[in-house]
Structure 1
Amino acid sequence: MSLDKLKLSKPLITAMTDAGYISAKEIQAKTLSRIIGGQDIIAIGPEGCGKTTAYVLGVLMKLKYSTDEAPKVLILVPDGERVEAVIAEFMRLSRNRNLRIIGLYGTGGMEEDINILLDGIDIVVATPTRARAVYLKLGLNLNRLQMLIVDDAELIVKQGMQLPVAELARSAGKVQHLIFTTVVHDKLNMLTDQFMNFPFATVEVEELGSAEAETHELLLYQLPNFKTKVNLLNLLLSDEEVFDKVLVFVNTRLTAQKLGKSLRTARPGDVSVLNPLFFDEEGFDHIDDFKESPEARVLIAANEGFSGTDFSGIHFIFHFEVPEEKELFLSRVVKNNEEELVAITFASDLELGEIKKIEQAMGKKIEVMDLPEELVIDKAVKTAAKTKKEDDDLPKGGGAYHEKKESNSKNYNYGIGQKAKMNMKKKHS
């Protein structure tokens, strides 16, 4: 899309051209008019789709020159590296403008930052914890704030910084709120519900890789927490005829030990751990030993101690936790032989961002499965989900428990062979 379609000022078009931009991104085309018009938005898109540039352009279009000491824009990001990256983008696109901007992050003294703020600032880019600390020291004046922007919102939630974001948003009063994120889920909705202005717009774009990878069969279950993941794994593994030889991946050996003790076993040796932490635990030192053991049916392996990818003789692998490195996930699911394999992933709200990155790398979406009716969901989360659904006044969309479109509703599952398909179909009908 041509840059002219964004209806930017001539200086901004020139700045974008000088910075190397030759066309507008979809997220920019869908959000800029709303940003300039003053509407609250939640913008959802993968890494690299142009979210940061979208709000930088919006701010530069709206921000008028003034000599006020109090900032007009507060931008909250997860860490110091993102603070510097956002400031750099502002500098690239405002070369012919006297823009007063400051970055707040770190854990040291804040006297210098407060002095700069008191001299007069237009834009503050900060981590939520640092911004809140400076605000409580009376160094950050929010009385003249016009825009509050939360970038990489899913990472801010993942790092547990919802409280300072909510406190700053409430302290700022009635301002325009812009939320940029790779994914929306219940935990993020619980944060934004506290301060978003109604009605707000939700804008979503998807940019998958141009080449689609050839993978084994992939399934995804969206689950609220560890306990519910255990419940689902126990439920699925209860069908010993289908799940006859299974490999379950977690991120650490400690989690492998915990999960091994949480799974129900029909007989001794049914569930074991690869390279167990303690000598008295059921386990194997090598995956080949597991394959050759007729008694062993489920092997739990930690990503941190697993280097092999030979899944011959194993028909199902579970990613009980999403690997921290997407390359590790891809190395297991991309086809390199003719052997049939189903890779089932359990993802919590906080892991959905990693799923988006994996899908982007593969060039395709992972099939999202309905939760079985007989699945026991953790009580606290179940209550929260029920309250969310019953409250018609709350904004809709995005969470792991949102109401599905009819076209996306599934009452079937996939497996290896007709028997697996039929057996798993019964579990989800």
Structure 2
Amino acid sequence: MAWSEKLKLNKSLLSKVNGLGYESPKEIQQKTLARIYGGQDLIAIGPEGCGKTTTYVLSVSNRLGYSPEGVPRVLILVPTKEHVLDVITRFEELNKNKYLQLVGLYAAPGTESQMNALADGADIVVATPDRARSIYLKLGLNLNKIELLIIDDADQIVKQGLQLPVAELANSITKAQHLVFTEVMHDKLQKMISPFMENAALVEIEEIAESKIETLPQVLYHVPNFITKLNLLNLFMQDDELFTKTIVFVNTRQTAEKIYKTLQNRQSTTVAIYNSWSIEFKGIAHIEEFKESEQARILIIADDKTQPQDLTDIPFLIHFELPAEKEIFIQRVTPKAPMNDEEETLALTFATDLELTLVKRIEQATGKKIPLGELPADLVIEQEKKTSAAEEKQPVKPKVTAPVAGEAFHQKKPENAKTYNYSSGQKAKMNNKRKHG
């Protein structure tokens, strides 16, 4: 589909778009531009590289046209300085109107130069939420004429804990259209935007790899927080008949030590750390040593920078934390040899809201969804504490008091013992592993 009149780009902008090689609009542009021009609030969910930033750069450039006022009319919030600079570059590439003034606000020594730039005139402000809020409180950022508030990479803004400045800035704008662009939607993000996105249209774009990558069977467990992850891991590891050999991947030594000490409370000498850095922790130097050990059945691997390991014949791989690079995860869950139904490895992933973006990127790269597992009925779920004034306004749910991690596990109910609410197919596969020694 070529750019059509329905997308209502002005002639000069259309010429610039074609000149840059954008021969046709992407799916997200086809589904959102008309809505944006119609003044509708919008939440657009789509993968990295699907065209989210280009979409709002086009709509803003088309909207402001050749009528600069020198007073901010568009505020764009992004997570980092690098994002600010990237968005400004996109505007400069796609915008022929040299009269429009852009100002970027981000962490830098002092605020005077950025406040001076705003005082000289700005039609579009691209900012990190914390810096925009700081300058607004110093009366350097005028929000009185803002007619369009855009929050880009909203999931990353939440990951950085910047919900409060976003909420304060949104509340300080009298009346505006709101656009939110994100890779995933989850509860934390919903809490941030719900006060000003009550009647927003939702557009979701699904783009996955055309060719699928063969992976081990996988299950995703979506949990609210770190302590619940610990509780889930402990609950699984209690079943020594099923979890005969398990590798647990984490990103830091601190997390490895926390898990080691928690598991030691119940697993005695069956847990070890790969290439241990302290005599305080039992160490194993080679994967083959772990496979052959009659005693060790849980191996914690922290921030593994070594060459890819041979993980075949390990019944369970658990990603307690997801690595920052999706390629590392994919390499771990890619079978090195044809899988044997009776001795296949099952890869389990524990993910909080803040890790769902990484899960999404892995699914897009492999070309398939990771099935969502049902949490065990006897799992103790730690309730999250309120972290901001904005969240204090939300209804408070009754808190479930849990004992200290490592001691926070109820005795299994007879009807739940060693089933974990798996489907019959999953149970059959997992029961086969009981034969693995």
TM-score range, shorter chain: 0.7 to 0.9
Quote how far apart the aligned CAs of 1:387 are: 5.3
Match of 1:158 in 2: 159
The residue type equivalent to 2:283 in the other structure is: G
2:36 is the alignment partner of 1:25: no
What whole-Å deviation, never above 9, does each CA across 1:81-126 have from its counterpart, x for those lacking one?
Answer: 1111111111122124522111112322322322221222110111
Match of 1:219 in 2: 219
Count of aligned positions: 401
Match of 1:373 in 2: 377
Aligned mate of 2:423, from 409, 412, 416:
412
Contact 1:341–1:416, Cα closer than 8 Å, also in 2: no
Match of 2:271 in 1: 271
Match of 2:69 in 1: 68
2:337 is the alignment partner of 1:337: yes
Quote how far apart the aligned CAs of 1:370 are: 2.0
Match of 1:357 in 2: 361
Cα distance in 1 for residues equivalent to 2:351 and 2:430? 26
Q: Structure 1 163/261 Cα, relative in aligned 2: closer, same or farther at 3 Å?
A: same
Cα distance in 2 for residues equivalent to 1:276 and 1:141? 55
Give the secondary structure class of the aligned counterpart of 1:121: coil
Cα distance in 2 for residues equivalent to 1:306 and 1:162? 37
2:153 is the alignment partner of 1:149: no
Give the secondary structure class of the aligned counterpart of 2:184: coil
What whole-Å deviation, never above 9, does each CA across 1:325-362 have from its counterpart, x for those lacking one?
Answer: 11110111122212421111011111111111111111
Give the secondary structure class of the aligned counterpart of 2:44: strand
What whole-Å deviation, never above 9, does each CA across 1:125-167 have from its counterpart, x for those lacking one?
Answer: 1111221122122111000000111111111111111111111
Quote how far apart the aligned CAs of 1:249 are: 0.5
Q: Structure 1 419/365 Cα, relative in aligned 2: closer, same or farther at 3 Å?
A: closer
- Structure 1's unaligned 5+ residue stretches are 391-409, 424-429
Cα distance in 1 for residues equivalent to 2:359 and 2:323? 10
Cα distance in 2 for residues equivalent to 1:63 and 1:78? 24
Quote how far apart the aligned CAs of 1:272 are: 1.8
Quote how far apart the aligned CAs of 1:411 are: 5.8
Match of 2:39 in 1: 38
The residue type equivalent to 1:412 in the other structure is: S
The residue type equivalent to 1:77 in the other structure is: V
Q: Structure 1 346/306 Cα, relative in aligned 2: closer, same or farther at 3 Å?
A: farther
- Structure 2's unaligned 5+ residue stretches are 399-420
Q: Once superposed, what is the RMSD of the aligned Cα atoms?
A: 2.5
Match of 1:9 in 2: 10
Cα distance in 2 for residues equivalent to 1:181 and 1:418? 36
Cα distance in 1 for residues equivalent to 2:166 and 2:153? 12
Give the secondary structure class of the aligned counterpart of 1:317: strand
Contact 1:67–1:120, Cα closer than 8 Å, also in 2: no
Cα distance in 2 for residues equivalent to 1:388 and 1:3? 48
Cα distance in 1 for residues equivalent to 2:126 and 2:43? 19
Match of 2:406 in 1: none
Match of 1:185 in 2: 186
2:217 is the alignment partner of 1:207: no
Give the secondary structure class of the aligned counterpart of 2:165: helix
Match of 1:117 in 2: 118
Contact 2:75–2:148, Cα closer than 8 Å, also in 1: yes
Match of 2:408 in 1: none
Cα distance in 1 for residues equivalent to 2:218 and 2:265? 26
Cα distance in 2 for residues equivalent to 1:68 and 1:36? 20
Cα distance in 2 for residues equivalent to 1:67 and 1:313? 65
Q: Structure 1 411/36 Cα, relative in aligned 2: closer, same or farther at 3 Å?
A: farther
The residue type equivalent to 2:360 in the other structure is: K
Cα distance in 1 for residues equivalent to 2:41 and 2:258? 43
Contact 2:312–2:335, Cα closer than 8 Å, also in 1: no
Q: Structure 1 360/413 Cα, relative in aligned 2: closer, same or farther at 3 Å?
A: farther
Cα distance in 1 for residues equivalent to 2:424 and 2:265? 24
Cα distance in 2 for residues equivalent to 1:133 and 1:326? 35
The residue type equivalent to 2:189 in the other structure is: L
Cα distance in 2 for residues equivalent to 1:316 and 1:65? 61
Sequence identity of aligned pairs in percent?
Answer: 51
Cα distance in 2 for residues equivalent to 1:65 and 1:2? 25
Match of 2:84 in 1: 83
Contact 1:257–1:276, Cα closer than 8 Å, also in 2: no
Quote how far apart the aligned CAs of 1:18 are: 0.7
What whole-Å deviation, never above 9, does each CA across 1:238-272 have from its counterpart, x for those lacking one?
Answer: 22222111111000122111011122665532222
Contact 2:313–2:345, Cα closer than 8 Å, also in 1: no
Contact 2:312–2:336, Cα closer than 8 Å, also in 1: no
TM-score (norm 2): 0.86
The residue type equivalent to 1:179 in the other structure is: V
Quote how far apart the aligned CAs of 1:223 are: 0.8
Q: Structure 1 267/77 Cα, relative in aligned 2: closer, same or farther at 3 Å?
A: closer
Give the secondary structure class of the aligned counterpart of 1:368: coil
Cα distance in 1 for residues equivalent to 2:304 and 2:214? 26
Match of 1:404 in 2: none
Match of 1:282 in 2: 282
Contact 2:224–2:384, Cα closer than 8 Å, also in 1: no
Match of 2:106 in 1: 105
The residue type equivalent to 1:221 in the other structure is: Y
